[in-house]
Chain A
Amino acid sequence: MPEPDPQGVSLLRLAHVSKRFGGVQALDDIAFDVRPGEVLCLAGENGCGKSTLIKVISGVHRPEPGAVMEWDGRDISGLTPSEARALGIQVIWQDQALFPEMSVAENIAFERNLGARPRLVDRKSMRAEAAAVLARLGVDIPLSMPVGRLSIANRQLVAIARALVAEARLVFMDEPTASLSQRETDALIAIVHRLSAQGIAVVFVSHRLKEVLEICTRVTVLRDGRLVGTYPTAGMTQARLTELMTGASFDYAPRPETRPAAPLLELRGLTRHGEYHDIDLTIAPGEIVGLTGRLGSGRTELALSLFGMTRPDAGTIMWQGQPLRMRHNRDAIRMGIAYVSEDRLSLGLVQPQSIADNTVVTVLDRVLGRLGLISPARKSGLVRDWLTQLRVKIGQPTDAVSTLSGGNQQRVVLAKWLATAPKLLILDSPTVGVDVGARAGIFAIVDELARQGLAILLISDEAPEVFFNADRILHMREGRLIEEFTPARSTLAELEEAVHA
């Protein structure tokens, strides 16, 4: 028996929703409700069933028989995607379904172009409609600019605007802040509050717990396809939320202060015009140096020069006391520099290829047997070693990388670079798209590597991440290093204030 709606105020109410894919129970007896105009968070680790739940609500998947789905008190089980849209349920996916070559106006008002019957395109009213929606959001984006040339934050706003054109009453945002800087995130949060004030309910999916606690009134936690519970965010802490999501508790403490050894890498006045200026930086073996700053502060650009991908215009790079000039990144790899890129999905891995092939791609010359052909025995030996050492959870080394979760993919990227036996490891935003439990695992590995004597440059725009995992933190802004923090002698609040100021 479905329980009656206690206050009769729910916009959407689900009960006993289950979903099975083959032998996998993706959702198991979920109850979920959203009230009009509220901001609710859906939290849980990757693979806990969040996406499946969104897909059930948006009509993409049909739940198993026995599920109760109500919208405004009316039964909506057996929903199709177009019916869900007609009700006002809109999903803004992480991989936004926008058209990069088309203008902002056309992207927002594209619904007017739909249908199989030939019809004239009414550009004027499309522009007017797009302008009206953007005004409602309180943002200013040039209407005729192709979406592909906008920043990721602005693309997100275009996606939200498109949902509003469709008269949304419930908007799902799947990890909307994953690639936004703090300022952009703040702007997005302001928009979410604005939607909420206009009576539009927002369900926010995010890995950033701090954000979740700041903007949502309630949080629904899923774990392994089951409902853990729905809690008010008042009085909730990040530690408690992590515990609910992972079923385990983690405690965080900054690393103890260490005495640095002779530097492995030393930068003096390194400059590349328009990207970074006058950078002085040292890293010693066994040291983890955090590099933080907002998106666009020049962090990634600096990393690319350290990896030999771009050439600095001025300044010197000293490597083990000798000046180092790199013509391309093969020189960097030969010197023992490894770079784990920010964009793991497109740059770090060849998704459809096997885990094993991805792992050995950097060291193909070391798995050659006689006649210079790849030796299967050496290859599988090397792959086995690294996968065990990094505790990657996989089925078979021959499975495609795309079958792995975010955290395990990140480990394969690490394995690939560690196989080159580097002395310096540059990690650029290693936890983007990786959930809380897996993050701790990755940092345990990073810590272990530092103990083995690797120098590590950890780039991240999440202040807590560098605070709890680095020995020293450098703060970069507008291409310059402006401050240095030692976590053992400062507080997270100080760092966050500096970065977000």
Chain B
Amino acid sequence: MPEILRSVGATERWLMVVIVVICLGLSLATDTFLTLVNLFDLLNYSAVNLIFAAGLLVVLIAGGIDISFAVAASVVQYLVVTILMQIGGGNWAIGLLLAGLIGFSLGAINAALIYHFRLVSIVVTIATFNLFFGLLMFFTGGVSIYALPGWLSRRIILFEHETASGWAEITLPVLVMVVMLAATWFMLRRLNLGRQLFAMGDNPEGARRLGINLGAMHYLAYGWLGLCAGIAGLMQVHYAREVVPNALYGRELEVLAAVVLGGARLGGGRGTLLGAVLGLALVSITQNGLNLLGVSPFAFRMIVGLIILIAISMSSETLRGLTEGLRRRRIREAQS
């Protein structure tokens, strides 16, 4: 096994194999999958979900869960675009700063409720999910915004290349995604704060006895997800070039399933960024492939659901269990 693969966990290796197989199949079955235009489009589209995934991973590692982040991102979209239009458009730096700040504040609301009132995170975030979404629909009346600041409505293109099938572009969300993933990785793996998050998710009582500030860790985890969600929300506006109040509704479960598929444990203490990225990649590539194959969009969710079920039940531990059972049966048969 090459050195670089040895440090990669079993779940991640398994996901890589599945992704490679699916990619090979799609390359052979369609002539559009393996084109620069399609792959770049896939990347541009997935950037938003990847930023969500990085944030959600932090909360899962810390032993919590959050259902509200996608609608929180919708709230951020509305507030940031409204504020930007008030101040005459602003620029991308101001936009990202505002989105991160408002997102962090919304995450902090979750942290405060969960930590100070000792409430269960899934219950709190189901409540704030409804609260955020309800407030958004109430105040906007469900009306979309199409008038965007200039820098946001013209896509910022970082790289472009003309191919036989059209222009292949990489846009701003991809760069932002890379930065957010790197920051999340650095925080989780290289900073003492990230290690304390892992410790809290792994054994909360042990963490408390060691003197880890559990309150601060809650604000860090949910705040980080809020920050990621806010920035992802803004990037989604950049991608879609409009603000639709229910555009991100339902995205939370899609991202959650992908992150868990990537090996993060509900209950805390375990999870890798690589796993989350691969889990999300598997889901996105499948959707993209089904689209290219001309499968009805109504069948998408069913097929994605099936793939997640199969991938999770085929994880390396289950495989080991299956082979162990077969071995025993062979021994029994050989003896009788």
**Which residues of A line the B interface, CB within 8 A?**
81-82, 85, 93, 95-102, 106, 110-116, 118-121, 273, 313-314
Contacts and interface: CB of A to CB of B under 8 A. Distances in A.
A-B CB proximity, top 8 nearest: A97-B206, A99-B202, A113-B192, A113-B195, A101-B269, A119-B192, A97-B209, A101-B202
A99 to B, nearest CB: 4
Contact of B212 (A96, A114, A118): A114
B195 A121 contact: yes
Interface string B251-277: 000000000000000000110000000
Contacts of B211: 81-82, 85, 114
In this complex, the member of A81, A99, A100, A116 whose beta carbon has the largest number of chain B beta carbons within 10 angstroms is A99
A116 B213 CA distance: 8
B203 A97 contact: yes
Contacts of A82: 211
B198 interface: yes
B203 A100 contact: yes
Given A97-B210, A116-B213, A102 B198 contact: yes
A95 B206 CA distance: 9
Contact of A99 (B189, B203, B216): B203
A4 to B, nearest CB: 35
Interface stretch (B234-242, B312-320, B327-335): B327-335
Contacts of B207: 99
- Which secondary structure characterizes the binding site on chain A? loop
B190 A273 contact: no
B331 A98 contact: no
11 contacts: A81-B211, A82-B211, A95-B205, A97-B206, A98-B203, A99-B199, A112-B192, A118-B191, A118-B192, A121-B195, A313-B328
Interface string B179-218: 0000000000111111110110011011101111100100
A110 B216 CA distance: 18
Nearest to B213: A116
Given A116-B213, A273-B328, A99 B191 contact: no
A148 B196 CA distance: 17
A314 B335 contact: yes
A183 B209 CA distance: 30
A188 B75 CA distance: 58
A420 to B, nearest CB: 29
Nearest to A96: B206
Contacts of A85: 211
B271 to A, nearest CB: 9
Contact of A102 (B193, B199, B212, B213): B199
B202 A121 contact: no
Contacts, number: 72
A106 B192 CA distance: 11
A273 B331 contact: yes
Contacts of A113: 192, 195-196, 199
Given A82-B211, A97-B209, A120-B190, 7 more contacts: A81-B211, A101-B202, A110-B210, A113-B196, A115-B192, A119-B191, A313-B328
Contacts of A101: 198, 202, 269-270
A99 B206 contact: yes
Contacts of B202: 99-102
B158 to A, nearest CB: 30
- Which secondary structure characterizes the binding site on chain B? helix
A114 B196 contact: yes
A98 B206 contact: yes
Contacts of A95: 205
B209 to A, nearest CB: 5
Contacts of B189: 121
A118 B224 CA distance: 14
B210 A111 contact: yes
A99 B335 CA distance: 44
A98 B269 CA distance: 12
Given A97-B205, A273-B331, A114 B192 contact: yes
A121 B190 contact: yes
Contacts of B328: 273, 313
Contacts of B198: 99, 101-102
A187 to B, nearest CB: 24
A120 B210 contact: no
A113 B187 CA distance: 12
A181 B314 CA distance: 36
A15 B233 CA distance: 63
B335 A313 contact: yes
A314 B195 CA distance: 48
A279 to B, nearest CB: 16
A216 to B, nearest CB: 26
A116 B220 CA distance: 11
Nearest to A98: B206
A467 B199 CA distance: 44
Contacts of B206: 96-99
B212 A313 contact: no
B317 to A, nearest CB: 13
B65 to A, nearest CB: 17
Contacts of A110: 195, 199, 210
A106 B210 CA distance: 13
Nearest to B265: A101
A497 to B, nearest CB: 36
A99 B212 CA distance: 13
B195 A106 contact: yes
Nearest to A271: B335
Contacts of A112: 192
Given A106-B195, A110-B210, A99 B269 contact: yes
B215 to A, nearest CB: 10
A28 B206 CA distance: 30
Contact of B191 (A102, A114, A120, A313): A120
A313 B199 contact: no
Nearest to B332: A313
A93 B190 CA distance: 29
Contacts of B216: 116
Contacts of A111: 210
